[in-house]
Amino acid sequence: MIPLNNLAMAFFQDSASAASAAHDLHEMRIYFLFIVIGLGLQAVGVLLVAVYAAMFLKTMHTISRSVHDKALPMIEKTTQLVTDLTPKINSISTNVEQVSYTVREKIDELGVTLTQLNETVAEANGRTRAQVVRVDGMVSEALDTTEEVSRTVQQGIRTPIREVAAIIAGIKVAVETLIERSPFKKRPSA
C-alpha cells in the first residue's frame, strides 16, 4: 500500500528542477522495482497456495472417494436393514403393548384373587380357632368326666372291697374265736 501512495505522490508533484526530476525519476524506478518484486512475490505466494490447495483438494477427493466407496455399501445395507426391520419392529412393539395390557389385566385379576384367597384363609383360620376352642372344651370335659368316672369306679370298688375285707376279717376273728373255744381243741397239759 505504501509504494502505491508514493507513486501517486510522484505523479502529483511539481518538477521544480531538472536535477530534481532526474532524481525523482530514479527514485520512482526504485519504487517501481520494489512494487514489481512485491507483486512478483505475491504472485509466487498465490501460485504456491494454489498448488498446495490443488494438492489438498486432490487428497481430499481421494479420501472422499475412498470413504464414499466404503461407506456407500454400508449405508445401503443399513437402509435395506432398516427397511426390512421396520415392519418387524412395529409388530414387536404392537405385541409388547398387547402383552403389557394382558399382563396388567392378569395382575389385576390376580390381585382380586389374592384378596379373595386372603379373606377365605382368614375366615378358615377363624373357624379353625373356633373349632379348636370347641374341641379343647370337649377334651377338657371328657378328661374331667373320665377323672370323675375313675374316682367313682375307685370308690365303687374300694368300698365293697373294704367291706368284703372287713367281713373276711370278722369271719376270721369269729373262726379263730370258735376254734379257741371249741371242745375239740387240745388243751395244753399243765
DSSP conformation letters of 109-144? HHHHHHHHHHHHHHHHHHHHHHHHHHHHHHHHHHHH
In a domain, 23, yes or no: yes
In a domain, 91, yes or no: yes
In a domain, 183, yes or no: no
Rounded CA gap, 157 and 28, in Å? 166
In a domain, 135, yes or no: yes
pLDDT confidence tier of residue 157, bands split at 50, 70 and 90 = confident
In a domain, 186, yes or no: no
Residue-wise pLDDT tens digits, 41-60: 999 999 999 999 999 999 99
In a domain, 122, yes or no: yes
- Would you call 185 helix, strand, or coil by DSSP? coil
pLDDT of residue 36: 93
Query: CA-based Rg of the chain, rounded to a whole angstrom?
Result: 69
Count CB neighbours of 103 within 10 A.
Answer: 10
Higher pLDDT, 20 or 60: 60
In a domain, 34, yes or no: yes
Phi-psi region of 71 (alpha: psi -120 to 50; beta: other; left: phi over 0): alpha
Rounded CA gap, 184 and 187, in Å? 9
Burial of residue 28, with CB atoms counted within 10 A of its CB: 0-12 exposed, 13-18 middle, 19 or more buried: middle
In a domain, 112, yes or no: yes
Q: Which amino acid is at 130?
A: A
pTM for the full model?
0.33
Average pLDDT of span 70-76: 83
Rounded CA gap, 24 and 131, in Å? 138
Residue-wise pLDDT tens digits, 169-180: 889 888 888 888
Say whether pLDDT at 37 is over 60: yes
pLDDT confidence tier of residue 14, bands split at 50, 70 and 90 = low
Higher pLDDT, 10 or 174: 174
Cell of 64: 472422499
Span of 9-23, 91-105, 131-145, 169-183 with lowest mean pLDDT: 9-23
Percent of the chain with pLDDT over 90: 17
Rounded CA gap, 108 and 102, in Å? 10
Domain boundaries, position 99 = 2-168
Total count of domains within the chain: 1
